[in-house]
Amino acid sequence: MCPECSKGNYMMCQNPGAGKLPVKDVGGGFSPYMVMHHSQPFKVPDELGDDEAILIEPVACAVHGVNKRVPGKDERVLVLGCGAIGLLTIAVAKAMQPGCEVVALARYPFQAEMAHKMGADDVIIREKNPYKHIASLTGAKYYEGYLGNKILLGGFDVVYDSIGNDSSINDALRWVKARGSVVIIGINFKPGKIDYSPIWHQEINVTGINCHAMEDGGLSSFDVAADLLVNKRIPVDNFITHRFPMANYRDAIKTFFSKGEQKAIKIVLEHDK
């Protein structure tokens, strides 16, 4: 094992592609079967049905993100984005610290409704200038400079960015209070330009996640996620909004790219039984 794998940080393996797999057609992705190392599978607890088992991996991502900066009691938390990962981040943050106040930023009304069900105390539906709205919520001071540059002095203690694009990161750095924390959970495969001046100006702590890993205490993100689901600490009723047979995967992808119109949250592809 490389040093990272030996710590349980398998997503940061320093030996990717080393060695040969026993067969050429290894499966994976949407395949009904796949070849993997014996250390890779996670045994689904008997108490969970298939619909809950599907959610273990995205809940594990939310667990890993929240564990990067677990909110304290009475701290104010902002979750950017109310897709599947953002919604689960709301639920995990509330499960880990019921005493924190969670505000979510959603794009669509149906996402806002689900955010409330997942435990959000307040939801902002994306507006033209949410800076003033957020300033009023947190008691922060709003400033606007040249060329339309905006910032808050004060703001949230923790911001979880489940979007992870240039715009959301720029906003997250300006909506977190001095010496607060920004955790980048969303992934952007086409990064552009980010004005990172608030990081030094406000001494902000910024970190990211690569899916899941071994958490503090010797449990994996999957262990924690499964426990939350088994003990009904994550409200996932009606979280799966769309189902498609595998043969109709193109329709599933179209639905994914038209979430607002289709009111999609979690889309499931099903193999023939």
13-68 pLDDT, tens per residue? 999 888 777 777 778 878 878 888 888 889 999 999 999 999 999 999 999 999 99
Residue 71 near residue 89, CB atoms below 8 Å: no
Alpha-carbon distance of 134 to 177, in angstroms, equals: 12
Task: Please identify every stretch of the chain with a pLDDT value under 70, giving residue numbers as ranges.
Answer: none
User: What's the pLDDT score for residue 112?
Assistant: 97
Name the amino acid, one letter, at 222.
F
DSSP letter, residue 59: H
- Say what the pLDDT of residue 145 is: 87
Other CB atoms within 10 Å distance of the CB of residue 97: 19
- pLDDT for the residue numbered 164: 95
Instruction: State which amino acid sits at residue 227.
Output: D
- For residue 97, is it left (φ>0), alpha (ψ between -120 and 50) or beta? beta
CATH 3.40.50.1400 for the 53-208 domain, yes or no: no
Phi, psi dihedrals of residue 16, rounded to the nearest 5°: -65, 135
Sequence-distant (≥ 6) Cβ neighbours of residue 39 within 8 angstroms = none
Q: Where are the domains of the chain?
A: 1-41, 53-208, 240-273
First CA to last CA distance, the chain: 37
**Cβ neighbours for 26, distance < 8 A, ≥ 6 positions apart:** 34, 35
Q: What angle do CA 257, 259, 261 make, to 5 degrees?
A: 110
Give the pLDDT confidence score for residue 27 in this predicted structure: 81
| Predicted TM-score (pTM) of this structure | 0.95
pLDDT at residue number 107? 95
